[in-house]
Amino acid sequence: MAEENTPVKEITPEEFFLESPLYDKVTLKGDNAYTFRFTIKYPKKRLTIDSYCPYCLNQSVFINKEIEGSHSQIVSDGLHTTIFRCSRDNEHWIGFIFLFHQDWVQKIGQFPSIADLQKAEIEKYHKILGNDKYKEFTKAIGLASHGVGIGSFVYLRRIFESLIEEAHTKASTASEFKEEDYIKGRMAEKIVLLKEHLPGFLIENKSLYSILSKGVHELSEDECIKFFPVIKIGIEIILDQKLESKKIEEKALKAKEAIREIHGELSQTTEK
């Protein structure tokens, strides 16, 4: 369990439920004190959260309200459980255990895990990443959900590097590509050389790689955990742009084939 001097932060209850790793602490001072105390400790304060339901295998709205079959109750002094019920099926639930202090609240238990709840969000990247890198992405999320920040950065960096190498493979087929410059260059320089084959977001945010490398070699576990959500979103945006580009390419290919068929039919009609 986290020590008393673990840093506390201020986030929304939904972010705390769905994104914070175990043993994260949130301060109960300031504007969020009332919100957290009532949404977690008292069932009559209705709170809904949008999340993937690992039972429905679909996105759903989860409700924390006593009349819906959900509950928040005191287990022992300072210890509370909170249950959210799926609006699709009342038998489907997400559960949390919290430790309350006068000035902070700490998540000490959760089921299903953050990795399970985020499965739907990342499943769409499976085809883009391939089996091996997709597994590494899920491992990164799983490690971060258990407070292993440095390990999660290792996997995210490997994914980033694989995206660069994929672009390098495409670019190297061109006769004008300067392979020697690429080999000698730092990552930021390599990205510039590959800009015709990389998503715009990656080119604009080359510093992502330096942050990942710093996380692997220099940052503490807590610092990596703190930065993980932002870095994860950055990787997802890059993958989103690759997905969109692939969709456009596939649509263009289908359109070309259809136009060619129509042109062929019209040509035959003209000849007749």
Question: Within 10 Å of residue 210's Cβ, how many Cβ atoms?
Answer: 12
Q: Which of 169 and 51 is assigned the larger pLDDT?
A: 169
Bridge partner list, 48: 63
Instruction: From residue 174, give the alpha-carbon distance in Å to each of 167, 178, 202, 237.
Output: 12, 9, 21, 27
* Final residue belonging to a domain, choices 89, 113, 137: 113
Residues 104 and 203 in one domain: no
Residues 140 and 221 in one domain: yes
Residues 83 and 162 in one domain: no
Residue 31 lies in a domain: yes
Residue 1 lies in a domain: no
Vertex 113, ends 111 and 220: CA angle to 5°? 130
One-letter identity of residue 20: S
Count of structural domains within the chain: 2
Residue 8 lies in a domain: no
Q: Is the pLDDT at 211 greater than 50, yes or no? A: yes
Among 43-57, 160-174, 222-236, which stretch is predicted with the lowest mean pLDDT?
43-57
- Domain extent at residue 74: 13-113
Residues 95 and 131 in one domain: no
- Among the ranges 84-88, 164-168, 225-229, which has the highest mean pLDDT value? 164-168
Q: Let me know: does 105 contact 40? Beta carbons within 8 Å.
A: yes
Q: What is the pLDDT of residue 31?
A: 62
Torsion sign, CA atoms 56, 62, 68, 72? positive
